Amino acid sequence: MPQANNIMPKYLQESEVSQECKDLIATLPMEKGWLASHLHQYQGFWHITRQLQGVLSCQKHFNALNSDILIVTTPKSGTTWLKAWTFALLNRHKYPKMFENHPLLTKNPHFLVPFLELDLYNDKDLVPNLNSIPSPRLFSTHLPYVSLPKSVIDSDCKIVYLCRDPKDAFISLWHFTNELKMEGTCANSLEDSLEKFCNGVSLCGPFWDHVLGYWKESLDQPKKIMLMRYEEMKKNPSFVLKELARFVGCPFSKEEEDEGVIDDILKLCSFKILSNLEVNKKGKLSSGEEHRAFFRCGKVGDFKNYLTIEMIEKLDMITEKKLGHYGFRF
């Protein structure tokens, strides 16, 4: 049974958008979504209605500080995992005993590291408090590079960009939307959803343009943007975590390495530990998503269980066509 509108997660509800947002929407290309009822194309990328309102609001009001760290991801690329890593990394001196009283044991990573456009700038009450957060402030976003608030581009804040093989990111998103089974979504069969995804019509899609925007900028501005891949986090976690620590300006000391701090962070943030915590098995974010929806199987290559050879070839062909030319491959 589709969920009724009144129990639809808040971030997917289309009522209560501002007049400014409604006026803009009337001028934008629109598609029926496979996550929410509608997607709107703004600055070349597709957004759900409420997210669009948050995008406009944070473009207008967000003041980035030089010390800020922004986690940017394509949806379903491992955002939850990277939030946990980065939070644990930055707070390792405050919470040296990782398996006692650590906030990650009792709070979902999305609560600890909020989304700019989905959480903070969709809730006017939270915005003034942003100035009182001790530095470095840690936020996340799915915004494409072209849509980042100007202050993010102009400041010396750091951007950590995470992406994932589109085949796995697509399957993860498809499961997520099917679990929600939204009223008004029109394309929840694997075939229809894939068709939309391949045409770029997906959350913050086109997927490939999103990656390309940050890939190019990471080459031009390596001190500002670090590009990470889900597959690398899986394959070589300590190496990637150390790189991340160096990039955000808090490298591990030799003593920390010897004491096993890196291993502790990796263990605390592992799929096995996080997904089995009471807090992540029950409960919801204030935006309405159930915590458990962020933990499905956490594997590389799960797409092979769902996509046909033809589907795989199609996705790989688009990736090669759009990114191969720029030296980027999954």
Ligand X SMILES: Nc1ncnc2c1ncn2[C@@H]1O[C@H](COP(=O)(O)OS(=O)(=O)O)[C@@H](OP(=O)(O)O)[C@H]1O
Closest contact distance (angstroms) between CB of 269 and ligand X is: 6
Q: Looking at 49, 86, 141, 172, which residue binds ligand X (CB under 6 A)?
A: 172
Region near ligand X per CB under 6 A, out of 182-190, 204-212, 256-264, 291-299: 291-299
Token pair recorded at residue 106? 């009792």
For 229, the enclosing helix (H) or strand (E) is: strand 225-229
Closest contact distance (angstroms) between CB of 277 and ligand X is: 11
Q: Looking at 49, 80, 108, 319, which residue binds ligand X (CB under 6 A)?
A: 80
Nearer to ligand X, 24 or 311 (CB): 311
Residues 224-283 that bind ligand X (CB under 6 A): 269-271, 274
Closest contact distance (angstroms) between CB of 209 and ligand X is: 17
Closest contact distance (angstroms) between CB of 83 and ligand X is: 8
Q: Looking at 9, 33, 54, 75, which residue binds ligand X (CB under 6 A)?
A: 75
The sign of the CA dihedral 135, 136, 141, 146 is: positive
CB 289 within 8 A of CB 36: no
Distance from the first to the final alpha carbon of the chain: 37
Using DSSP, state whether 163 is helix, strand or coil.
Answer: strand
Nearer to ligand X, 195 or 231 (CB): 231
Nearer to ligand X, 24 or 288 (CB): 288
Counting contacts by CB under 6 A, is residue 81 touching ligand X? Answer: yes
What does the per-residue mask of binding to ligand X show for 22-61, with x meaning CB under 6 A?
Answer: ----------------------------------------
What span, in angstroms and rounded, lies between the C-alpha atoms of 62 and 180?
A: 30
Counting contacts by CB under 6 A, is residue 78 touching ligand X? Answer: yes
Counting contacts by CB under 6 A, is residue 295 touching ligand X? Answer: yes
Tell me if residue 142 is catalytic: yes
Q: Which of 142, 175, 210, 291 is catalytic?
A: 142
Please give the full DSSP string across 256-289, using - where no structure is assigned. Answer: HHHHTHHHHHHHHTSHHHHHHSHHHHS-B-TTS-
Q: How many CA atoms lie within 13 A of 297 on its CB side?
A: 12
Whole-Å CA distances, 132 to 58, 104, 127, 241: 17, 21, 10, 28
* CB-CB neighbours of 6 under 10 Å: 6
Closest contact distance (angstroms) between CB of 302 and ligand X is: 5
Look-up: residue for tokens 């770029």? 200
Site residues (CB under 6 A) for ligand X?
A: 73, 75-81, 168, 172, 175, 269-271, 274, 294-298, 302
